[in-house]
Amino acid sequence: MPAPTVPVRVAAVRQQSMPHFLNGLGTVTPSADVLVTSRVDGQLMRLHFTEGQHVNAGDLLAEIDPRPFEASLAEARGTLARDKAQLINARRDLDRYAKLAAGDYIARQQYESQRATVRQYEGTVAADEAAVQSAALQLEYSRIVAPVSGRLGLRNVDEGNMIKASDTEGLVRITEITPCYVIFTLPENRVPLVGAALRQTQEGAARPLVQAWDREQKNLLAFGELLSMDNRIDQATGTVRLKAQFANDKLALYPNQFVNARVLVAELPDALTIPTAAVQLGSRGSYVYVIDKENIAHVRTITPGIATNSLTVVDKGLQAGEMVVVDGLDRLRDGLRVKIAATVETPQAENIRPAL
């Protein structure tokens, strides 16, 4: 009695380019994060921004009552004018004393005393000029401008309040998220792969591609590039930190957002790929069932390479075009005849830059 045929589904070994991604957990950080604070004490008169607004560096954000600073500046300028007049008069006296001392009409000591008086007034004028600059600077600080470009958060103070330079909460926070960064970690055994990819950039290659996916790894949020890898491994976690930059033109990434980062460390050209479901693990290692032209199943030991949920690279053991079993494996034995119920297509390798 002939052995019964086993119905199976098969797929062909497919030769294609296969990207090698490494997955890590990361957090979005802004490229600039500044807490806007006052540099002088006074009453907040006006706010010139709305929460969530995008501002450019130098834009006016708030005004503090300038009258005390204007008065201080006027006083400093008055003191400067007075001391300058005294300096001019002292210099004139010095010129006269110099002529009199040359003719021995006055004691030399009187001339030297006048010279000391001139130098004293010169020092006083220099101090007055510094006081004027300081008062002018205080007046300038009464106008609070954006130190960097970015998006404003929620304001921490309202108009009419007295604010101080020592306030720790500040007025508002500015964050720049175009571009932004993602800081993520990888296991220490992945360091050689990342290091090799970064070394290629030093030889003129493009920086390694980085993808940012949402928490559930269902939605691809943005594309970026790997900037650098930390210079040490965290001994507590056995991981190394990496930093990637994202243009974030569509504002899909937000500061402190959790993301799944995937960095492309290599791309294998003409790799032999099969559905991951076809790969079995036994006492002798990984193997697959190969179907010959007579529909006979044969066990074939393979050396698998990188793998995803749907696709596995075979480094050794198969050839392009061979048929492997992907469904019906539980009833198969080496040498059994099979009935091919369906031929499924081996998945296409992931497109490195699919449309967002």
Confidence of residue 171 (pLDDT cuts 50, 70, 90): very high
pLDDT tens per residue across span 214-228: 999 899 999 999 999
Q: What is the pLDDT, as a whole number, of residue 355?
A: 58
pLDDT tens per residue across span 309-346: 889 999 999 999 999 999 988 888 898 999 998 999 98
CA distances from 265 to 14, 192, 221, 344 (A): 22, 10, 19, 30
Q: What is the pLDDT, as a whole number, of residue 246?
A: 96
Report the alpha-carbon distance of residue 149 to residue 32 in Å, rounded: 8
Confidence of residue 3 (pLDDT cuts 50, 70, 90): low
**Could you tell me where the beta strands, DSSP code E, fall in 131-200?**
143-145, 150-152, 162-163, 172-187
Confidence of residue 308 (pLDDT cuts 50, 70, 90): confident
Report the alpha-carbon distance of residue 342 to residue 330 in Å, rounded: 17
Looking at residue 231, the DSSP 8-state letter turns out to be S
Q: What is the pLDDT, as a whole number, of residue 1?
A: 44
CA distances from 154 to 39, 157, 162 (A): 20, 9, 18
Question: 11 near 344, Cβ under 8 Å?
Answer: yes
Q: What is the pTM of this model?
A: 0.77
Report the alpha-carbon distance of residue 198 to residue 180 in Å, rounded: 20
Q: What is the pLDDT, as a whole number, of residue 123?
A: 95
Looking at residue 210, the DSSP 8-state letter turns out to be E
Q: In percent, how much of the chain has pLDDT > 90?
A: 79
Q: What is the pLDDT, as a whole number, of residue 100?
A: 85
What is the pairing mode between strands 209-213 and 258-275? antiparallel
Q: What is the pLDDT, as a whole number, of residue 331?
A: 86
pLDDT tens per residue across span 97-108: 888 887 777 878
**Exposure on the CB side of residue 153, measured as CA atoms within 13 A:** 18
Q: What is the pLDDT, as a whole number, of residue 354?
A: 61
pLDDT tens per residue across span 47-106: 999 999 999 999 999 999 999 999 999 999 999 999 999 999 999 988 888 888 877 778
pLDDT tens per residue across span 269-305: 999 999 999 999 988 899 999 999 999 999 999 999 9
Tokens of 237: 């976690």
Average pLDDT, whole number, for the chain?
92
Q: Which domains does the chain carry?
A: 6-17+269-344 (2.40.420.20), 21-30+176-268 (2.40.30.170), 42-64+142-170 (2.40.50.100), 67-141 (1.10.287)
Report the alpha-carbon distance of residue 143 to residue 152 in Å, rounded: 17
Q: What is the pLDDT, as a whole number, of residue 105?
A: 78
Looking at residue 206, the DSSP 8-state letter turns out to be P
Q: Which single residue is written with the structure tokens 């540099």?
A: 39
